[in-house]
């Protein structure tokens, strides 16, 4: 199947401007054109554009995505280098998940504390308000 720019945007959940930017930056290599010079995309292009979105969502910078794309274009021989890039990005994502989990745990504990205070099960205190009992 062949996709127009707008169809490709819909298929990949990307904005027109975003896809145009990726094309102009060389991140969608070998873009084909129709008779009136409009970009057209095939199934391989659509799959790659979805991969680009994933790489962006993983926190890769534009430069990192360009480097990864160049390695992909070089073929199978660069798989070890690509694996290293992805392993590093995965480790960073794991660290982010751990930090987010710690933040969620903090919120859950605060909510539990507030619930207990509101239910009269616990006396309220705040680290921001000095206790009058410490005089």
**Domain limits, the chain:** 1-74, 79-123
pLDDT average, residue stretch 107-116: 98
Quick check: 57 pLDDT over 70? yes
CATH architecture of 1-74: Orthogonal Bundle (1.10)
Burial of 27 (0-12, 13-18, 19+ CB in 10 A): buried
DSSP bridge pairs for 32:
40
pLDDT of amino acid 127: 87
Q: Which two tokens stand for residue 110?
A: 């605060």
Per-residue pLDDT reduced to its tens digit, 67-99: 999 999 999 999 999 999 999 999 999 999 999
DSSP string, 12-42: HT--HHHHHHHHHTTSSTT-EE-TTS-EEE-
Q: Which two tokens stand for residue 46?
A: 């659509």
Q: Which two tokens stand for residue 105?
A: 């745990």
Tell me the whole-structure pTM to 2 decimals: 0.79
pLDDT average, residue stretch 117-132: 90
């Amino acid at each position: 199947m062949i996709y127009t720019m707008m169809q490709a945007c819909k298929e990949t959940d990307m904005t027109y401007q975003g896809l145009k930017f990726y094309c102009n930056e060389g991140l969608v290599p070998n873009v084909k054109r129709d008779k009136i010079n409009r970009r057209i995309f095939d199934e391989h292009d659509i799959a790659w554009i979805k991969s680009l979105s994933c790489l962006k969502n993983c926190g890769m910078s534009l430069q990192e995505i360009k480097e990864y794309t160049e390695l992909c274009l070089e073929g199978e021989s660069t798989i070890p280098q690509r694996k290293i890039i992805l392993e590093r990005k995965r480790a960073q994502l794991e660290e982010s998940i751990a930090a987010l989990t710690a933040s969620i745990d903090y919120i859950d504990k605060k909510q539990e504390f507030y619930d207990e205070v509101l239910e009269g099960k616990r006396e309220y205190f705040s680290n921001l308000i000095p206790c009058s009992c410490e005089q």
